[in-house]
Amino acid sequence: MSRVITGTLVSLFLGASAAHAATFVTSFAGAPDPGAIGTVLFDFETPVVAGQLGHGVTIAGEYQIYTGDAPPNAAAPAGDATAYLAVPGTSYSGFATLDFTGLTYGPGIGGFDFYWGSIDKGNRMAIVTSTGTYTFTGADIIGSGLGSTTTAQANRRVIFDLGPGEILQQIRFYSDLPAFELDDFAVVAVPEPSTWAMMLVGFLSIGSMLRRRDSARRGGVTMPKLTS
Ligand SMILES: [Ca+2]
Ligand SMILES: [Ca+2]
């Protein structure tokens, strides 16, 4: 099964069953990036002007966009030769905030994923949503190999899911060590009501068809005649 389908199913499953909380779902080994699950909104190839990342999302705080290694401030995510985001980018520690409150993308975000380079113990993220603030550290994602700039273990595509009706407001990226590096931030759209309605109609049609078939089969059976 393709990762995209798996990711969608994971998202649908969690969306239907999880509590209203941002959740770390899973991650895939990188070096290079195994590829986005959702639609890439930010690849950081376009210069950021006045904090505008695109799609109504802004970035503020301490960050730099680099291409390639930038010692001692940042290292390119393994296998990534393109521009990427580094926090803080020019100092030892700091944070940057992505603000999604002005998001203009589609029907809303049901989950998101990105390629996280050289996952460090000093890396932390806070996901601020309509239901609360949820924090994750590099150690929550991988148990060992922290900070490696080359291994598949420490360079991963990480996937987060939002609960039903939960609205993403901000993601804050922190680093107490240089640095928090990421690229190709992607989102999975919340299924539109019309999509759910079509799926429901489909299920009901199949159910109805099976009931009719079952009924016809029972009606068509010749019962053995009882003779006295
Ligand atoms: Ca890029
Ligand atoms: Ca790092």
pLDDT per position as a tens digit, 203-220: 566 656 656 665 665 554
Ligand 2 centroid, distance to 140 Cα (angstroms): 14
pLDDT for 38 beyond 70: yes
Distance 86 CA to ligand 2 centre (A): 8
Can you give the pLDDT at residue 222? Answer: 42
pLDDT band, residue 143 (cuts 50/70/90): confident
Q: Is the model's pLDDT at 144 over the cut of 80?
A: yes
Ligand 2 centroid – CA 181 distance (Å): 5
Query: Quick one: which ligand is closest to 183's CA?
Result: 1
For residue 11, the model assigns a pLDDT of: 46
Q: How far is the CA of 80 from the centre of ligand 2 (A)?
A: 13
What spacing in Å lies between the alpha carbon of 184 and ligand 1's midpoint?
A: 6
* pLDDT surpasses 90 at 106: no
- The yes/no answer on whether domain 3-189 falls in CATH 3.30.420 is no
pLDDT, the chain, mean:
85
- CA of 119 relative to ligand 2 center, distance in Å: 5
The pLDDT value recorded for residue 5 is: 44
Residue 36: pLDDT above 80?
Answer: yes
Cα-to-centroid distance, 220 and ligand 2 (Å): 69
Q: What is the pLDDT of residue 65?
A: 97
Q: What is the DSSP string of the chain?
A: --HHHHHHHHHHHHHHHS-SS-EEEEEEE-SS----SSEEEE-S-SPPBTTEEETTEEEEES-EEEES-BTTTB-PPTT--SEEEEESSSSSSEEEEEE-TT--STT-EEEEEEEEES--TTEEEEEEETTEEEEEEHHHH-SS-TT-SS-TTTSEEEEEE--TT--EEEEEEEESSS-EEEEEEEEEEPPPHHHHHHHHHHHHHHHHHHHHHHHHHHHH--PPPP--
For residue 54, the model assigns a pLDDT of 96
Could you tell me the distance, in angstroms and rounded to a whole number, from the CA of residue 28 to the centre of ligand 2? Answer: 17
pLDDT digits (tens, 9 = 90+) for 114-142: 999 999 999 999 999 999 999 999 999 99
Question: What value does the mean pLDDT take over residues 136-165?
Answer: 95
Rounded distance from Cα 199 to ligand 1 centre (Å): 36
**Interval between CA 50 and ligand 1 midpoint (Å):** 19
- Give the pLDDT mean for 20-29: 94
**Ligand positioned closest to the Cα atom of 123:** 2
Cα 45 to ligand 1 centroid, rounded to whole Å:
5
Query: Which ligand has the minimum distance to the alpha carbon of residue 176?
Result: 2
- What are the structural domain ranges in the chain? 3-189
